[in-house]
C-alpha cells in the first residue's frame, strides 16, 4: 500500500485556494501510485479562523462534492479535514472519499483540544473503520492520536492503517518526533499524519507530517515547508509487530 500526505499553509478561509491545492496534491499523489492522500485538520476553511461556524460545510455541499469528484477522476482516495455543519451543530470532522468518489467514512473528532475547540465544536462519539486498498483503515484527528486507548481500540477492531489530519502547533514538537512513531510501533498500525506548516493567526505550526509503518519506522518525514510525502508501506512482519495487547497484565 502506498500512502500520501500533503503539508501546506492554511487556506485561511479562501475556499477556492483550499480546493485547488487539494486537487493538485491529489493529482500528484495519484500519479505516484498512492492509494490515498491525507490533508490537514479543518483544511476547509482553515483551522485557526475566527468565523468557522459561519463557514462550516455540510457533507453533501458543493465543495465536498467537488473533492469527491476529484477522487473519482484520479482514482485516489482522499481524506480531508473540514468543519462540518449538521443542523445546529458544528463538528471537527474528516471525510474519506474512495477512489470511486463514494463516501467511505465521515469521522468527528472525539478529543477536542483546548477551550477554543470546545467552544466551536461538538465532540464526536464514534470510530470510523472501512476497507481501503486491501487494508482496514480508520480515521483520527490530531489530538485523538495522542491517546493510546483510542489507537488501541482501533487496532483491536482490526485497523491496520490510521489516516490522521492534524493541526499541530508550537510548542508541541514532541508529538511529531516521538508520540506518533511510538503509537504506530506500540499498536502495530501504519499512521499517515498530515499537518500544516507556516503560521495562521496566533499559531505557528510545527510541520513534521509523516508516514510511519506498523513497526514504528518513519517512512517519510516533512520539515517545516510545504510538501507532498509519498511512501510505500512495508508488509506487516509478525516477528516485528508489537505484542503489547496480548501480553498486557492488568494490576489491581
Residues with catalytic function: 41, 109, 142
Helix axes 148-156, 180-187, angle to 10 degrees: 30
Q: Kindly list the distances between the CA atom of residue 50 and the CA atoms of 24, 42, 92, 120, 201, in Å, as whole numbers in the listed order.
A: 27, 13, 14, 10, 9
Strand pairing of 135-139 and 161-165? parallel
Helix (H, G, I), strand (E, B) or coil at 106: strand
Q: Are 192 and 211 in contact (CB under 8 A)?
A: yes
In sign, the C-alpha dihedral spanning 131, 137, 140, 142 is negative
- Only one residue has cell 485516489, namely 76
Distance CA 159, CA 130 (A): 8
Q: Where do we find the cell 465536498?
A: 64
Q: Are 3 and 34 in contact (CB under 8 A)?
A: yes
CA–CA gap between residue 148 and residue 163 (Å, rounded): 15
Amino acid at each position: 500500500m502506498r500512502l500520501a500526505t500533503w503539508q501546506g499553509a492554511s487556506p485561511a478561509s479562501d475556499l477556492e485556494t483550499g480546493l485547488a491545492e487539494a486537487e493538485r496534491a491529489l493529482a500528484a499523489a495519484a500519479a505516484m501510485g498512492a492509494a490515498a492522500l491525507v490533508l490537514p485538520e479543518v483544511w476547509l476553511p482553515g483551522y485557526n479562523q475566527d468565523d468557522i461556524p459561519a463557514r462550516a460545510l455540510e457533507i453533501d455541499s458543493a465543495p465536498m462534492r467537488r473533492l469527491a469528484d476529484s477522487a473519482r477522476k484520479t482514482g485516489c482516495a482522499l481524506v480531508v479535514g473540514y468543519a462540518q455543519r449538521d443542523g445546529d451543530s458544528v463538528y471537527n470532522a474528516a471525510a474519506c472519499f474512495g477512489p470511486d468518489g463514494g463516501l467511505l467514512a465521515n469521522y468527528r473528532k472525539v478529543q477536542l483540544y483546548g477551550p477554543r475547540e470546545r467552544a466551536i465544536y461538538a465532540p464526536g462519539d464514534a470510530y470510523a473503520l472501512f476497507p481501503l486498498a486491501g487494508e482496514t483503515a480508520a480515521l483520527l484527528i490530531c489530538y485523538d492520536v495522542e491517546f493510546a486507548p483510542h489507537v488501541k481500540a482501533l487496532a483491536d477492531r482490526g485497523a491496520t492503517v490510521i489516516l490522521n489530519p492534524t493541526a499541530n502547533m508550537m510548542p508541541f514538537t514532541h508529538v511529531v518526533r516521538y508520540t506518533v512513531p511510538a503509537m504506530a510501533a506500540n499498536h502495530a498500525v501504519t499512521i499517515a499524519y498530515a499537518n500544516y506548516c507556516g503560521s495562521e493567526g496566533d499559531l505557528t505550526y510545527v510541520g513534521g507530517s509523516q508516514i510511519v509503518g506498523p513497526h514504528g519506522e518513519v517512512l517519510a518525514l516533512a520539515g517545516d515547508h510545504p510538501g507532498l510525502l509519498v511512501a510505500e508501506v512495508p508488509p506487516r512482519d509478525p516477528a516485528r509487530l508489537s505484542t503489547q495487547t496480548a501480553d498486557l497484565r492488568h494490576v489491581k
